[in-house]
Amino acid sequence: MQQLDLVIYNETGLHARPAKTLVNLAKTFESDIKIQHGAKKVNAKSMIKVLTLGVKKEGRITVEIDGADELAASVAIEEAVVSGLGETVNHPSSNGHSEAAASETPSNGHAKPELKANELQGVAASPGLACGPVVRWTESEFDIPTDHQGEAAELEAFNDAVVKTQAQLEALVVKVTKDLSAEEAEIFEAHLEILGDPELQNTVKEQIKAGKNGAQSWHAACEEQATALSQVGDELLAARAADVRDLSGRLLSHLLNQPQNSRVLHQPSIILARDLSPSDTASLNKNMVLGFVTSEGGPNAHSAIIARAMGIPAIVSLGEGLDSIGDDATIVVNGTNGRVEINPSAESLAIVKAEQAKIAEKQAAMLAMAQDFAKTKDGVRIEVFGNGGSAADSELCKQNGAEGIGLLRTEFLFLGKEEEPTEAEQFETYSKILEVMGDRPVVFRTLDIGGDKPVPYITVPNEENPFLGERGVRLMVNHYPEMLRTQLKALLRAYKESGASKMAIMFPMVGQLYEWHSARQHFNDVAKELGVDTKGIELGIMIEVPSAALNAPAFAAEVDFFSIGTNDLTQYTLAIDRQHPTLAGKADGLEPAVLHLIKLTAEAAHEAGKWVGVCGELAADPAATKILIGLGIDELSVNNNAIPALKDRIRQCTKTECEAVAQKALRLRSAADVRALT
């Protein structure tokens, strides 16, 4: 048996994200792995059990590993914990400060003004100001039966509910990734981890065998774990109880065929609730929800994290004060200082409205200019396109000033479904997108599946290194050519029948010329079969693999354009899996090695008279704007809400300045040095 004595230096301890990373790592080994903190010892392969340890920053844990691969497991786990389990950590030896020392740092001396008679103090959870009428939300309640249909029937019903819940969560991960970001989507990936928790599943099945029905067993098991998390004595970990209860309600709705409460707001309002689940928060309509106030919860709860990502002002932990707010009240929510003002005076209302106006004025100014082309101060135009996955996304991009769609992720039409979408379904979706964008170009990426995007009806070969295997165009050409041809038919029909003047198709994960040739041949065959004139269609490739960037001159002679996917290009250049437990934080697209590949790609494209864009996350990174322009990028493609600010940044610089910054960046030694430039 191997034993490790380790210290957790993560800023917020062993909370959801690092716990998920540790649990997933433990699951890759056959050995029995236990983690002890204080007097409590738990299964390291159980997400909930690891969370209930309540390990805070600088907390000590003992890891016991017993089994055939115990040595390899001990090396991997020690490295992962020391490296931060996917988060950046500061060890005492590196900065000379401990948590205790940090806590003794004096405050800035600015005390909050005293509360007015009509004010309540809560905890600031999401910054911003909101003012409006209140609406109380009640929690979903389930009528849990007590009868038992027999062990076999109960187990079958429970397993079926698990499958439906898993599919729903996977679809939600896709939606949140698209609407917010991958970081917020990790919240629901953690829900998936809890759903598949072996100890939780076993507890439910044991209770079913003991005579309880599935609903009783699941509800009781989840409440037991939620209560345990609430009693850990750590605010951050206690907030995870809401995640367990959220998941509990989601599965119960499937198991009992009882829909969860659907809430409809008839006017823009501020929500009052005991607490909001992560699912509730992610489903909020930003046009109708001005803000929310809860009596419970904390600033590190997942609902608060989602609210911040959505830009919704929020206050939590108001306590009994929530009940003192009348149902017909108008309130001011200050998500920055945590204060609620009930039925504000005319003077207070005027101050709030003035501050809101100032914020809105800045946003409106950027939005007003967003429909104009983005040109640098010395007159160089940089095209700003949007990223999306649907007609609705495309409409939002256009409203925010997108000059086209630079990355239409067609996989969103395929993910979260049990069956492949038909040609007719795809045709309808693609036609709507082209119709929305009118004379603005749309770049459709063909189905990008494999690696981190599993689909039930696509069997991806079992590979030790799936990110280095058959994904993207490789998977389609090698195993699902008919699926690729069906998609190309739908795209070409949509182009032909919509009367669109511009359309582009790009193939993902092309690393070698033969892969491009194979994909292009399928396109040519389908175009010939349909009799479509393809003169207005551009064909390009994603530059995601270093070999494609290094061989860009050869590709540039044959393709119409390049679109650089900086997420994968960074991953493959640095040989760092973006989800790696210890290295993910080091995968920075501003690493000079990645910038050199971007430069090579841009130079090859321009030499051949072709255009080159960037559609990865780096395109929206404020620190990267000048550098990408200076490297010769012609088009930047970002999520809709980032478009106005990106155009504003472009207008604040000159091309000459950008080229100088880019040249400096190429000579630096690390991403940190590059970021210090801007």
- Delimit the CATH 3.30.1340.10 region(s) of the chain: 2-92
Whether the predicted pLDDT of 101 surpasses 50: no
The radius of gyration of the chain from alpha carbons, rounded to an integer in Å, stands at: 27
The closest of 557, 561, 646, 649 to 602, measured between CA atoms, is 561
Beta strands 123-126 and 40-43, pairing class: unpaired
Q: Which of 131, 222, 615, 658 is catalytic?
A: 615
Q: Which two tokens mark 384? A: 């700003």
In DSSP terms, 342 is beta-bridged to 331
According to the model, what pLDDT value does residue 305 have? 81
**What's the whole-number average pLDDT of the chain?**
87
- Predicted confidence (pLDDT) per residue in 638-662, tens digit: 988 889 999 999 999 999 999 999 9
Highest mean pLDDT out of 396-400, 445-449, 605-609: 605-609
Number of other CB atoms surrounding residue 91 within 10 Å: 10
DSSP 449-511: -BTTB--TTS-----SSGGGSS-THHHHHHH-HHHHHHHHHHHHHHHHHHT-S-EEEEESS--
Q: Which two tokens mark 239? A: 């907030």
According to the model, what pLDDT value does residue 106 have? 30
| Alpha-carbon span 162 to 174, nearest angstrom | 18
Q: Which two tokens mark 612? A: 């080159």
Whether the predicted pLDDT of 507 surpasses 90: yes
- Three-state DSSP at 278 gives helix
| Alpha-carbon span 657 to 141, nearest angstrom | 60
Alpha helices in 284-389 (DSSP H): 302-310, 346-370
Instruction: Give the amino acid at 189.
Output: E
| Alpha-carbon span 210 to 230, nearest angstrom | 27
Q: Which two tokens mark 604? A: 């090859």
Whether the predicted pLDDT of 585 surpasses 70: no
| Alpha-carbon span 294 to 178, nearest angstrom | 27
Q: How confident is the model at residue 96 (pLDDT cuts 50, 70, 90)?
A: very low
Whether the predicted pLDDT of 92 surpasses 70: no
Count CA within 13 A, CB hemisphere, residue 89: 28
Q: Which of 302, 397, 522, 653 is catalytic?
A: 302
Of the candidate ranges 431-440, 462-471, 602-611, the one whose mean pLDDT is the lowest: 462-471
β strands within 29-110, DSSP E: 32-37, 40-43, 59-66
Environment class of residue 111 by beta-carbon count within 10 Å: exposed (0-12), middle (13-18) or buried (19+)? exposed
The superfamily (CATH) of domain 119-139+262-365 is Phosphohistidine domain (3.50.30.10)
Bigger pLDDT: 170 vs 487: 487
Bigger pLDDT: 234 vs 7: 7
The hierarchical CATH code for the domain 371-677 is: 3.20.20.60
Q: Which two tokens mark 506? A: 């790009």
DSSP 583-600: TGGG--TTSHHHHHHHHH
CB 559 within 8 A of CB 516: yes
Whether the predicted pLDDT of 316 surpasses 60: yes
Residues 6 or more apart whose CB falls under 8 angstroms from that of 354 comprise none
Q: Is the dihedral of CA 81, 82, 87, 91 positive or negative?
A: positive
Stated pTM of the model: 0.62
- Delimit the CATH 3.50.30.10 region(s) of the chain: 119-139+262-365
What is the spatial order of strands in the sheet that 59-66 belongs to?
Answer: 2-8, 59-66, 32-37, 40-43
Number of other CB atoms surrounding residue 267 within 10 Å: 9
What is the spatial order of strands in the sheet that 339-342 belongs to?
Answer: 119-121, 339-342, 330-334, 129-136, 269-273, 289-294, 314-316, 123-126
- Predicted confidence (pLDDT) per residue in 148-191, tens digit: 889 999 999 999 999 999 988 888 888 787 777 666 777 888 88
Q: How confident is the model at residue 121 (pLDDT cuts 50, 70, 90)?
A: very high
Whether the predicted pLDDT of 516 surpasses 60: yes
According to the model, what pLDDT value does residue 230 have? 78
Cα distances (angstroms) measured from residue 122 to each of 76, 231, 317, 386: 43, 21, 5, 38
What is the SS3 string spanning 529-555?
HHCCCCCCEEEEEEECCHHHHHCHHHH
User: Which 8-state DSSP code applies to residue 131?
Assistant: E
- Delimit the CATH 3.20.20.60 region(s) of the chain: 371-677
According to the model, what pLDDT value does residue 97 have? 36
Whether the predicted pLDDT of 578 surpasses 70: no
| Alpha-carbon span 423 to 468, nearest angstrom | 30
User: Which 8-state DSSP code applies to residue 99?
Assistant: H
The superfamily (CATH) of domain 2-92 is HPr-like (3.30.1340.10)
Q: What is the mean pLDDT of residues 238-247?
A: 82
Q: How confident is the model at residue 502 (pLDDT cuts 50, 70, 90)?
A: confident
Q: Which two tokens mark 36? A: 């002890």
Q: What is the mean pLDDT of residues 613-640?
A: 93
Whether the predicted pLDDT of 110 surpasses 60: no
The hierarchical CATH code for the domain 151-255 is: 1.10.274.10
Whether the predicted pLDDT of 453 surpasses 70: no
Catalytic residue at 615? yes
The closest of 76, 251, 100 to 162, measured between CA atoms, is 251
| Alpha-carbon span 418 to 64, nearest angstrom | 41
| Alpha-carbon span 148 to 157, nearest angstrom | 12
User: Which 8-state DSSP code applies to residue 38?
Assistant: T
| Alpha-carbon span 63 to 56, nearest angstrom | 16
Q: How confident is the model at residue 590 (pLDDT cuts 50, 70, 90)?
A: very high
- Predicted confidence (pLDDT) per residue in 244-277, tens digit: 988 999 999 999 988 766 667 889 999 999 888 8
- Predicted confidence (pLDDT) per residue in 66-83, tens digit: 998 998 899 889 988 988
Of the candidate ranges 8-12, 138-142, 362-366, the one whose mean pLDDT is the lowest: 138-142
According to the model, what pLDDT value does residue 357 have? 87
Bigger pLDDT: 301 vs 269: 269
